[in-house]
Structure 1
Amino acid sequence: MFQLRFLMFSALFIVIFGVVIAQVAYVEEADIDKKKMNLEGRKPLYVPARCARYQLLYPGDQPNDWICDCAPAALYYPETDACYPAYRQGPCKAGEILVLYKEKVIPECVANACHQDGQFMIRDKCYEFGNNNSSNNPCPLKEYTYVLGVNPKTLMVDCVQLSMQLETRVSIQDPTEVVAPPDYHIELAEKCLRGSRLSAQGRCTPVA
């Protein structure tokens, strides 16, 4: 009788222990999306009262872990510890623009062939960034509001679609809420993109 009880107890212990192990293993094997902004799914915010111009407030993985860094299509310039729009004069001298080349980490000032801030030369003609006037817009698909600008992903001059943030009468958005300007590309903002402060300082950990 004692041996039978011992065997039953051992079998029950093995079953319970196996279930616990299985549960622990299941948690460890859970599919976690490493591409999320952070573990809580929080997104960057436009908070001009807290972050400097051309910066957004990026969340970390901890509830109180937030940091100001460059918005997409803006570049961090260490000498002034500030962010500036790519291909604009920014901290550079008159007649120059701030550019981040593909093989570089720190942006640099180069000559602007148009000699006027906010313009870029294409085939010996200068075009104004963001201009949707047909005569001064080299982009196709003008009917879909494509204009000359900076691609937030590649940091290269490209035809980009205007980001329009519209409010309707049925919107439940707080009327006192501050909305980011379209050129901040907040819908594409990710921490540690090329050109950011964290990237320039080597503080970004590659996602496996």
Structure 2
Amino acid sequence: MPFPGYDVRILRSNGSEADIGELGRIVVKLPLPPGTMSSLYKAPERFLQVYFSKFPGYYDTMDAGYRDDFGYIYVTARDDDVINVAGHRLSTAALEDVVMSHPDIGDAAVIGVPESTKGEIPLCLFIMKKGARKSEKAISHELVLMVRELIGPIAAFRLSAAVSGLPRTRSGKIARKSIADLARSKSVKIPSTIEDPSVYKNIKEVLQSFGFAKNAPDPK
């Protein structure tokens, strides 16, 4: 539940309030209560631009989430980790939770990739466990069925493939944005915090097998 003094709302991208259970952007209606951050050091204009320009009258947390019937607010992901599939906002974290429940998968990342009719669709890269009993093809097929059952057909989940590794930082976070940029043939600068930069080579090859990253320069 929101702490007293904070008027927390869930908004759609157009600024209207989301329905109960609908994923949206978590914001706090102004004025903010005493004790909250009032500026950035020597960057007041940037403070206003980053946190208050997208939704005038609200502080933008940049988190995605939803409100349940009892008023509890659930934070599902950073808004950058939300993809828009034919107007439906889906959390990549929720998709990854389904994927990670497969007994033969040890790690996974889901990103949004461009699609002509739906805008974006999810693409999953997963690492198979050593001694996995099923083939990559069989696992990919089962993932489609699992996502369809647990999240629904609206996810349009059909693209998945095994990779040798995922770009994780030393703190354990997957650099999803770099994978998404690579899929869009953007130049990717490998963060210095990535533990194993060599994984990008295989990831690029897999993305190209799906028709993405066609003109992508090698990440450096």
Q: TM-score, normalised by structure 2?
A: 0.21
Larger Rg: 1
Structure with greater helix share of residues: 2
Structure with greater strand share of residues: 2
Q: TM-score, normalised by structure 1?
A: 0.22
